[in-house]
Amino acid sequence: MQPDQIKALIQANIPESEVQVGVDGSHINLVVVSDAFRGITPVKKQQMVYAALSEQIADGSIHAVHMKTLTPEQWQQQQ
C-alpha cells in the first residue's frame, strides 16, 4: 500500500487527525496525532487505528503496524 492510501484510511476514520506514514514492504510505521485521543487509554487509541486498517490487515496487504498515538499536546511536548 502507498503511504497516501494509508493516511486517507486513518483520516477517514479518525477525523481531523494528522498522520505520518512510513512504509517498508508490508510493515507500516505510523504517528497519529488527534484530539480524538484525548482522555482515552493507549490501548483504545491503538484500537481506533487498527479499526481504520482492519480490511488491509485481514487481506495481508498490511502485515505489521508500529504506531505512536498522541494528542496534540503530547505531540508538542515531543517536538
Tell me the pairing of strands 18-24 and 64-70: unpaired
| CA-closest candidate to residue 27, choices 8, 54, 3 | 3
Instruction: Name, in order, each residue with C-beta under 8 angstroms of 23's C-beta and a sequence gap of 6 or more.
Output: 1, 2, 3, 6, 29
Quote the pLDDT of residue 45.
96
What is the pLDDT averaged over residues 8-37?
Answer: 94
Tell me if the pTM is above 0.95: no
3-state secondary structure at position 40: coil
Domain at 3-74, CATH class = alpha beta
pLDDT tier, 13 (very low <50, low <70, confident <90, very high otherwise): very high
Residue 39 CA, chain-centre distance (Å), reads 17
pLDDT tier, 25 (very low <50, low <70, confident <90, very high otherwise): confident
Quote the pLDDT of residue 56.
92
Grid coordinates given for 23: 512504509
